Amino acid sequence: MRKIKDVLRLKWGKGMSNRQIASSCGIGRPTVAEYLRRAEEAGVSWPLPADLGDVRLEQLLFPPPPDLPAQVRGIPDWLVVHQELKQKAVTLFLLWQEYRAVHPDGYQYSWFCDHYRAWQGKLDVVMRQDHRAGEKLFVDYAGQTVPIIDRATGEIREAQIFVAVLGASNYTYAEATWTQGLPDWIGSHVRAFRFLGGVPELVVPDNLRSGVSRAHRYEPDTNPTYQDMASHYGVAVLPARVRKPRDKAKVESGVLVVERWILAALRHRPFFSLLELNAAISELLVKLNNRPFRKLPGCRREHFEQVDRPALQPLPAEPYVYAEWKKARVHIDYHIVVDGHYYSVPYALIKREVEVRITRNTIECFHRGNRVASHPRSHQKGRHTTVSAHMPESHRQAGEWSPERLMKWAARTGPATEKLIRTVMASRKHPQQAYRSCLGILRLGKAYGDERLESACRRALTLGSCRYKSIESILKHRLDEQPLEAQQELALPDTHDNIRGPTYYH
């Protein structure tokens, strides 16, 4: 549903062409047309109504297809299709339309294309690039790095150089970051947009891991955080194809210019901080953008002011706040774990998978595109952040898990185990927060046996340590098989070569 929403946003909200939308979203152009056709037939408009969820949208756009056997639908003769494609102006889409005219209940266009390509193979298509004003910003990292010296230790650390080039004017931005990781990658984009004073229609990155989570020639998967930033700025992401330098020729040339006119000029200067290096790059960047073209009148800055700047989209009111995305499954205690801390979600989502958006200060949980929970971020490991509204009545877990059920399970092992489980639950503000620990303790009986678990719980109660790790350690080191008194009598000897004794301090 996220890609379908992006298609509707880019088409009806941004007025982009189907070809640009297909490249940005990583789907076929006919698929874009099919999504738009289904949306128009279903009466869907942009922006989507606030009460239209992903489930209802899917039902509107994709009603159940008729259950027909393959013989009734008809199987195309792929040899005929292959021969027809050799003729001028004949396309797969045209052949599919002719196929559907003969077989109205036949297969959809995506199936038609996939099966033909499986029969024949994939065709290599070289695309000619045309750069319109304010359309594309090409981004990449230079292959060359710059050493930075630590004043205190003398250690040398290599800084990475981020480069961004506008397609129409060649206006260039560059900066140094410590890494090519996701936080630095996103931060460089935010600063590049601020430097330009606006946002282009498209950003064309290389298949860097921070930008593209799964590189693919036809359907690259954009990193969720990168896509989230793109949505914030209203820009589309169009990754370059793997091993196709012509897709990003502008930035390849821009990287070469930055290495020649900036990095080469700084090669003999020592730098002791990233801030100092970026200040030097900024000075030379002004000279680079003001440097006259050799074969064209003017310079990069003049072309930018005349061509690109008027066509750029305005910056949003607030810059993008860096956020990471992850998937998490809701446990039976209706909590998810993020960096060792537990956050509650509505109990109806028990055992469901949710998407988690993690920023510096907040944790947001989404299910099927809808935000279901939001919490202030906490860095206390092993603790819980629980919203009372997320709990079921009487603290029951959808009729399946409850404190009573865990107590009955513990009672089957023995009275000491039952008492320990009761103690663990009483130590938490809400019993549900202890479910994970209780389940872990009770499941130790499967590995070590109920008799040993009962003995270990008895020892843990005596020692006043009722944590899962304590009981696991007792069982692992077979302390439950030793008499408790013998262990309590263990003490350091009164005299030893390495013990000074109390008289030493007099």
pLDDT one-digit tens code per residue, 314-357: 999 988 888 888 899 999 888 999 988 999 999 889 989 999 98
For the cut 70, the answer to whether the pLDDT of residue 88 exceeds it is: no
According to the model, what pLDDT value does residue 216 have? 39
At residue 429, the 3 state secondary structure works out as coil
Strands 384-385, 202-205: pairing kind: unpaired
For the cut 60, the answer to whether the pLDDT of residue 493 exceeds it is: no
Confidence of residue 8 (pLDDT cuts 50, 70, 90): confident
Phi/psi zone of residue 352: left (φ > 0), alpha (ψ -120 to 50 degrees), beta?
beta
pLDDT tens-digit profile of 17-55?
888 888 888 888 888 888 888 888 878 878 877 777 777
For the cut 50, the answer to whether the pLDDT of residue 218 exceeds it is: no
Average pLDDT on 486-501 reads: 46
User: How is residue 297 annotated by DSSP?
Assistant: S
Average pLDDT on 154-163 reads: 92
* Residue 157 backbone phi and psi in degrees, to 5: -125, 135
Task: Give the least confident one: 235-239, 430-434, 501-505.
Answer: 501-505
According to the model, what pLDDT value does residue 400 have? 54
Residue pair 20/235 in contact (Cβ under 8 Å)? The answer is: no
Question: Could you give the residue range(s) of every CATH 3.30.420.10 domain in the chain?
Answer: 136-311
According to the model, what pLDDT value does residue 390 have? 85
At residue 126, the 3 state secondary structure works out as coil
> Does 136-311 carry CATH code 3.30.70.2660?
no
ω before 47 within 30° of 0 (cis)? Answer: yes
Q: Tell me how far apart the alpha carbons of residues 223 and 186 are, in angstroms, rounded to a whole number.
A: 11
Average pLDDT on 274-300 reads: 88
pTM of the full structure: 0.51
pLDDT tens-digit profile of 176-216?
999 988 889 999 999 999 999 999 988 888 765 554 544 43
According to the model, what pLDDT value does residue 90 have? 73
Q: Token pair for residue 382?
A: 């092993």
The per-residue pLDDT of the chain, averaged, comes to 80
For the cut 50, the answer to whether the pLDDT of residue 498 exceeds it is: no
Q: Tell me how far apart the alpha carbons of residues 128 and 21 are, in angstroms, rounded to a whole number.
A: 17
Give the whole-number percent of the chain exceeding pLDDT 90.
21
Q: Token pair for residue 289?
A: 């953008």
Give the whole-number percent of the chain exceeding pLDDT 70.
81
